[in-house]
């Protein structure tokens, strides 16, 4: 095994080193090359939660490679502000802000219709929007908020944009999960976290694990349409979300946190690199596929992964067929 592979694994197992800014600092010495300039020219990339942190960095990264970026934001005002900030750096960027609250499932058909009205093809859909509410919260429709934002909304939106993703010919879906998911197993017995004392990081990590295994199912579902589906984790990046939801963690890890750009790097790379089309259903970090569990107690059975899929289908009504 080459020394770089041994070091890469050691970084991963140490967690702190691999997830921190040390991860990309070392790994860029051996990771695959950057996408070619202009490699997303003529492509449309849609990013949820694109007005802040990693989503904003993903929007900028895709625009830098020539994509037209649809910034799907729940506040068009915050979206417009982020767009203006990116344009100061990249005056030629092709950025558009579209209203989208991904946790509001009833509104998503309208979001998808609006997108399809402006473009017949979508190269990539990035499920980046994320939340860690301090207390258990529900959407107006009565869905637990992290489940709606990280799992059910992305599930429905993927289905609604299935045709434009397939029409691209090299379509990709990326779920921005979290390394926090390593701490939790799939909890299909209590997907809406109704039992036991609510813990924000646990709720967050449970739904992030769901994203990883939902991506595996979507990869199978979309294989015939040549749409690749990936999940990834960004490591630990200094973003407004971390500043607000995890101030203690940020204080502790501050100097070691990645920049938002470093956190978004693998997502942007997957959108443009050949590996992003050639592979599907994998979980990525720092431009390499990673294990989805290190402990047997957190590894789901195939039955549990299917159960997650059926749960999403039942809750959203789509897609109407599987497998
Ligand atoms: N930063 C890290 O170290 C880290 C680590 C692991 C995973 N992640 C994941 O990376 C993603 C981005 O996180 P971040 O750190 O960049 O956090 P952030 O700065 O808080 O950004 C989160 C974005 O999601 C948007 N959002 C939340 N709920 C939404 C909804 N219902 N519909 C549409 N947009 C919504 C937010 O919009 P508003 O501005 O309107 O609130 C914001 O734009 C999340 O999925 C997070 O779980 C981050």
Question: Which residues, other chains included, contact 278 with Cβ-Cβ below 8 Å and sequence gap of 6+?
Answer: 228
**Helix, strand or coil for residue 64?**
helix
Tell how far the Cα of 198 is from the centroid of ligand 1, in angstroms. 20
Which residue has the CA at smallest separation from atom 29 of ligand 1? 129
| Antiparallel, parallel or unpaired: β 283-285 and 288-290 | antiparallel
For residues 175-179, average pLDDT = 98
Ligand 1 proximal residues by C-beta, below 6 Å = 48-49, 51-55, 74-75, 78, 100-103, 128-131, 149, 176, 178, 233-234, 236-237, 239-242, 263
Which residue has the CA at smallest separation from atom 23 of ligand 1? 49
Alpha helices in the chain (DSSP H): 3-14, 16-19, 22-27, 53-64, 76-89, 108-118, 145-147, 153-160, 162-168, 200-222, 240-245, 247-253, 260-272, 275-278, 302-316
Question: Which residues, other chains included, contact 129 with Cβ-Cβ below 8 Å and sequence gap of 6+?
Answer: 48, 49, 55, 72, 74, 102, 103, 149, 150, 153
Q: Distance (Å, rounded) from C-alpha 128 to C-alpha 304?
A: 24
Beginning with the edge strand found earlier in the chain, give each strand of the sheet holding 288-290 in spatial order: 94-99, 68-73, 44-48, 124-127, 172-176, 228-232, 283-285, 288-290
Q: Distance (Å, rounded) from C-alpha 222 to C-alpha 74?
A: 27
pLDDT digits 0-9 by tens, 155-170:
999 999 999 999 999 9
pLDDT digits 0-9 by tens, 88-97:
999 999 999 9
Active site residues: 204
pLDDT digits 0-9 by tens, 208-264:
999 999 999 999 999 999 999 999 999 999 999 999 999 998 988 888 999 999 999
What are the Cα distances from residue 253, in Å, to 19, 21, 22, 242, 243?
Answer: 11, 10, 12, 11, 11
pLDDT digits 0-9 by tens, 103-157:
999 999 999 999 999 999 999 999 999 999 999 999 999 999 999 999 999 999 9
Residues 7-21: b if buried by 16+ CB within 10 A, e if exposed: ebeebbeeeebbbbb
Residue 279: per-residue pLDDT = 98
Confidence category of residue 2, pLDDT binned at 50, 70, 90: confident
Tell how far the Cα of 239 is from the centroid of ligand 1, in angstroms. 9
Tell how far the Cα of 52 is from the centroid of ligand 1, in angstroms. 7
Percent pLDDT > 70 in the chain is 99
Largest CA distance in the chain: 53
Confidence category of residue 15, pLDDT binned at 50, 70, 90: confident
């Amino acid at each position: 095994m080459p020394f770089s592979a041994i070091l890469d694994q050691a970084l991963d197992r140490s967690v702190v080193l691999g997830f921190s800014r040390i991860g990309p600092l070392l790994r860029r010495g051996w990771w695959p090359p950057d996408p070619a300039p202009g490699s997303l020219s003529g492509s449309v990339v849609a990013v949820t939660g694109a007005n802040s942190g990693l989503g904003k960095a993903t929007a900028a990264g895709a625009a830098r490679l020539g994509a037209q970026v649809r910034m799907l934001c729940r506040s068009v005002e915050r979206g417009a502000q982020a767009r203006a900030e990116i344009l100061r750096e990249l005056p030629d960027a092709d950025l558009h802000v579209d209203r989208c609250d991904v946790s509001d499932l009833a509104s998503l058909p309208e979001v998808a219709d609006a997108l399809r009205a402006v473009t017949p093809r979508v190269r990539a859909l990035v499920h980046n929007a994320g939340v860690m509410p301090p207390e258990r919260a529900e959407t107006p429709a009565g869905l637990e908020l992290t489940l709606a934002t990280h799992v059910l909304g992305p599930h429905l939106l993927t289905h609604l944009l299935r045709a434009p993703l397939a029409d691209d010919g090299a379509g990709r879906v990326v779920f921005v999960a979290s390394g926090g998911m390593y701490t939790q197993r799939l909890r299909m017995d209590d997907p809406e976290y109704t039992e036991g004392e609510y813990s924000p990081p646990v709720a967050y990590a449970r739904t992030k694990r769901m994203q990883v295994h939902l991506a595996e199912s979507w990869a199978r579902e979309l294989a015939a349409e040549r749409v690749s589906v990936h999940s990834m984790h960004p490591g630990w990046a200094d973003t407004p979300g971390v500043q607000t939801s995890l101030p203690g963690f940020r204080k502790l890890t501050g100097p070691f946190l990645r920049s938002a750009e470093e956190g978004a790097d693998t997502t942007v790379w997957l959108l443009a690199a050949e590996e992003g089309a050639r592979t599907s259903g994998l979980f990525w970090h720092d431009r390499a596929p990673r294990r989805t569990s290190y402990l047997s107690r957190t590894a789901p059975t195939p039955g549990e992964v299917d159960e997650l899929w059926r749960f999403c289908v039942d809750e959203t009504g789509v897609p109407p067929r599987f497998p």
